[in-house]
Every structure is written in structure tokens, then in C-alpha cells.
Amino acid sequence: DNLPQIEQETGVKLRFLAGLWRHSDQEWNLDDTDRLITIAKSPYIVGCDFMGHETNSTDAFMEELQMLAQYAMKEDPYFTIRVHAGENPMFKDNVKKALEIIYNEHQSYEAKTETKQPMPRVRIGHGLYGVDEQVLDIAKKMEAIIEFNMSSNVALNNINSITEIPIKNI
């Protein structure tokens, strides 16, 4: 209720990513995803962020990713799905899985509806580990963004210095 007034007074446009905890049990996350889809119609919600220390597989919230990809295709092509993945070497397939889940949902939805749909907007937070040529190819097809916040990755103790970042030109 107060955001329009705050924006008018400050000249700052405020928008939010709704956080979904990657460690909540599936029933909890599915309920939160339903709530998020309801409030995502607000002009102030521009996407979601699957956040939390990466100690589980992206498979743990696959259904939620599928639901949000469907929402983005049906309702809001500007809705952003952000997944913290590849922040440590524990689950090296997490970046690939996050991209593939959304990509496959897009392909399935287009085939089912026999219509062209915009690809959901996807961002991968961290993306240090598990990014290879195949992952880059799918990221390019999707126009996904893979973020590298060097100081964050050092602060999370996934690396000790930026010289350890396993990024190479593929």
C-alpha cells in the first residue's frame, strides 16, 4: 500500500524477488509457490529466488521450478526465476539441472499448446561449478544469465580467494 507513495517521494522504483528457501520440505515450498504465483500479479514482484546454501540437489524443488516456468509462460514473460546453483562443488549438476528443468518445461508447454512462447527469464546465482560447454550451450539458447559475485563466493567460504575461481574460457 505504501510503495507508490515511497516511489513518488524518493524517485526510486522498488521491485522484489520473492525468496523460496531451497531447504524447505516440498509441501511447504509448493504452498509457498502457490502463494507466490498469487502475489506475482503485483507490479512490485518481478520474480523469485531459490536461495540458501547449496547443500541439496536442484531436483529437490523441480516441481516448483516447473510451476514457475509455466506461470511465466502463461502470465508474465518478464517474471524472473533465479536459482542459487554452482556455488560449491558438492552438486556439480545443479546449474545444468536448473536450466534443463526450465528449458524442458518450455519445450513441453510449446508442444502441448502448439504455440510459440517466450522462454522464461532465468538467472543462476554463483555458477562457479558445473558450468561446461553443454551448460553454456543451453544457457545461450535460453538467454539465461549466470552471475558471478566474487566477493560473495569468498565470503561463503566456497573459495579462499578469487584466484581459486574455476572459470576458464570454454
Contacts of 131 (CB under 8 A, 6+ apart): 86, 95, 146, 167, 170
Q: What is the dihedral of CA 48, 54, 56, 61, to 10 degrees?
A: 10
Contact 26, 57 (CB under 8 A): no
Contact 109, 64 (CB under 8 A): no
CA triplet 109, 146, 51: central angle to 5 degrees?
80
Q: What is the dihedral of CA 100, 53, 167, 46, to 10 degrees?
A: 60
What SS3 class is residue 19? Answer: strand
**How does pLDDT run along the chain (170 residues), one tens digit per residue?**
899 999 999 999 999 999 999 999 999 999 999 999 999 999 999 999 999 989 999 999 999 999 999 999 999 999 999 999 998 889 999 999 999 999 999 999 999 999 999 999 999 998 888 888 999 999 999 999 998 777 777 777 777 777 777 665 54
Give the other-Cβ count within 10 Å of 134's Cβ. Answer: 12
C-alpha cell at 99: 536450466
Spatial strand order in the sheet of 80-85: 16-21, 45-51, 80-85, 121-126, 145-147
